Amino acid sequence: MLEAVSSVSSAGELAKTSEVINSATPAVQPGAATVGFNNVLEQVAADAIGSIKAGEAASIQSIHGKLSAQKVVEAVMSAERSLQMAVAVRDKVVQAYQEVSRMAI
């Protein structure tokens, strides 16, 4: 699913969003660390993917009898929260795009 979300940015008009974000970034001093909106989204997506993979790994370890049920439930619940958050962010991005596309030029 996350691959599908990331592939949307390469399609059509949505690809221009990255250009707009990068062009709106203010000038910074050389050597200063910059944190843009796209970097934050990349980090959130990477964390969500890591959480989902950890939940899957915990489930597999439980099947082999190497992990307690409590640890598995914690890992799966964390993965579920990450997935719900990713879906909510995707919905808000789509909603914002639709709102901008309805604006009169």
Taking the domains of the chain in order of start, what are their residue ranges? 36-105
Helix, strand, coil percentages (3-state) for the chain, rounded to 5, are: 75, 0, 25
pLDDT in tens, 49-74: 999 999 999 999 999 999 999 999 99
What's the pLDDT at 8?
44
Which pLDDT belongs to residue 30? 57
**Residue 20 — pLDDT band, cuts 50, 70, 90?**
very low
Q: Is the pTM of this model over 0.95?
A: no
Q: Going by C-beta distance under 8 Å and a sequence separation of 6 or more, which residues neighbour residue 10? A: none
Question: Residues 47, 84: contact at Cβ < 8 Å?
Answer: no
Q: Is the pLDDT of residue 13 over 60?
A: no
pLDDT of 49 reads: 92
